[in-house]
Amino acid sequence: MRFRKSIGAILALPLVAAAPSPGPAESPHKLAPLTVAVRPSRLPQSAVPVQRFLLTANAEARAFMREQMATKHIPGAQIAVVQHGHIILLEAFGIANLEHRVAVTEDTVFPINSATKSFTGVAAMQLVEAGKLDLDAPISRYLEDLPATWQNIRVRQLLAHTSGLPDIIGRTGLIGDGTEEGAWTTVKALPIESAPGTRFEYNQTNYALLARIIDTLSGMSFAEYFSAHQFKPAGMMHVHFGDGFDIVPDAATPYSFYGSGHGGAATKELGRWRDDLPHFTRTGAGLNASAREIARWVIALQTGKLLAKPESLKRLWTADTLNNGDRNEWAMGWPIVRAAPHPIVGGIGGGRAAFFIYPEDDLAIIVLTNLVGSDPQQFIDKIAAFYVPAIAAAPAYD
């Protein structure tokens, strides 16, 4: 990672709370935001313009979030900005639960849905570093009772969604009789969708199999493994596996505009949204976290606390290759949001949560909301441009 000494010196200073006046989408009871301390006497004179730039960028990011919440009718949200290994902005907006008028705070957790896959990618790379997993090995090396057509699928093809497997999740939930055993029996009897390594096909079977591999190789459940090897080392205190049928501490209530398909036009009644995520599928979409916890995880990932070898991080974020040599649109659990310029890898989940990491710019933006269809991945790049103006000229996320 590239570090600029002047900014690094500023960001190393203690952070203090600075509370701007609440915008229309905010609750007056929210926690004060975390931002860069203004202590000119402790700053090198040459660094003062840099700090002014950061304060301006933070103000623009806050205003932009309020604007998006008003436009998309988002009840509650959080934002965190990480730059040069420090959280430079952390703020909570709006309402976590409309029925009881519970404000979003910095401790509120949101479902991140399919962005969970990025954590699963890290778990896989940790097992690679431990010498327990080979990304190029057939999955039959680690799992038994697989259909003949599944035997030679490679581990990396599960991570990159190029396995060609049928999906164990249908439009209304698990296929089969609705049980885990029934779902596995049904999906194993289906023909493969395409030859492994020939095309990208997003599905949940890949990550349900990865859950079994992690369980087998680690000697513990994937939830225990994530906790011991990611959450604790990163200092993540508010992160939980769970769905809409579980009691998740400090959780924001998800909402959706029924029938609208997006959060941009409130033409239908706003109602609760409930995810049904069977336990064995939760390596694909089961985490609940706050923006602060994800920011801590990003910092831990980029500073060697989660992956010891720089080449492991590089492999994690390198797009996989199809059999014909074409570049796939996913890396190891991470979508390649933009290859260049200003490359982005990230996690995107449930139409309501997203985090983008800009490795070449040493920047990360995390936005979590409780409105299905708010699609923060569509506007995170604009927030990033407040901190790295050149990003504004890069191709927008599609």
pLDDT of residue 211: 98
Q: E strands within the chain? A: 16-17, 34-35, 76-83, 86-97, 102-103, 110-111, 169-170, 173-174, 239-241, 255-257, 270-272, 287-289, 336-338, 344-349, 353-358, 363-369
Of the candidate ranges 146-150, 168-172, 205-209, 332-336, the one whose mean pLDDT is the lowest: 168-172
| Angle, alpha carbons 211-370-389 (nearest 5°) | 95
Per the CB < 8 A criterion, the answer to whether 114 and 125 are in contact is no
Single-letter code of the amino acid located at 343: P
* CA gyration radius, the chain: 21
For the chain, the structural domain boundaries read 1-106+355-398, 109-242+277-334
pLDDT bracket for residue 26 (50, 70, 90): very low
pLDDT of residue 50: 82
Of the candidate ranges 63-72, 125-134, 187-196, 260-269, the one whose mean pLDDT is the lowest: 260-269
Higher-pLDDT residue of 351 and 398 is 351
Block residue for tokens 């790049």: 381
Q: What is the mean pLDDT of residues 229-252?
A: 96
Per the CB < 8 A criterion, the answer to whether 34 and 91 are in contact is yes
The residues near 283 (Cβ < 8 Å, ≥ 6 apart) are 116, 117, 119, 120, 123, 207, 208, 210, 211, 214, 222
> Could you tell me the CATH superfamily of domain 109-242+277-334?
DD-peptidase/beta-lactamase superfamily (3.40.710.10)
pLDDT of residue 372: 96
In the predicted model, is pLDDT for residue 251 greater than 90? yes
Helix (H, G, I), strand (E, B) or coil at 17: strand
DSSP letter at 278 equals -
pLDDT bracket for residue 24 (50, 70, 90): very low
Please state, in angstroms and rounded to a whole number, the distance separating the CA atoms of residues 35 and 76. Answer: 20
DSSP letter at 304 equals T
Helix (H, G, I), strand (E, B) or coil at 245: coil
pLDDT, tens digit, for every residue of 187-240? 999 999 999 999 999 999 999 999 999 999 999 999 999 999 999 999 999 899
Which ranges constitute the DSSP H helices of 245-336? 282-285, 291-302, 310-316
pLDDT, tens digit, for every residue of 340-385? 999 999 999 999 999 999 999 999 999 999 999 999 999 999 999 9
Mean pLDDT, the chain, rounded, equals 88
Higher-pLDDT residue of 387 and 265 is 387
Share of the chain above pLDDT 70, in %: 85
pLDDT of residue 154: 99
Per the CB < 8 A criterion, the answer to whether 274 and 254 are in contact is yes
- Classify residue 44 by burial, with Cβ atoms within 10 Å: 0-12, 13-18, 19+: exposed
pLDDT of residue 229: 99
Which pTM value belongs to this model?
0.87
Helix (H, G, I), strand (E, B) or coil at 357: strand
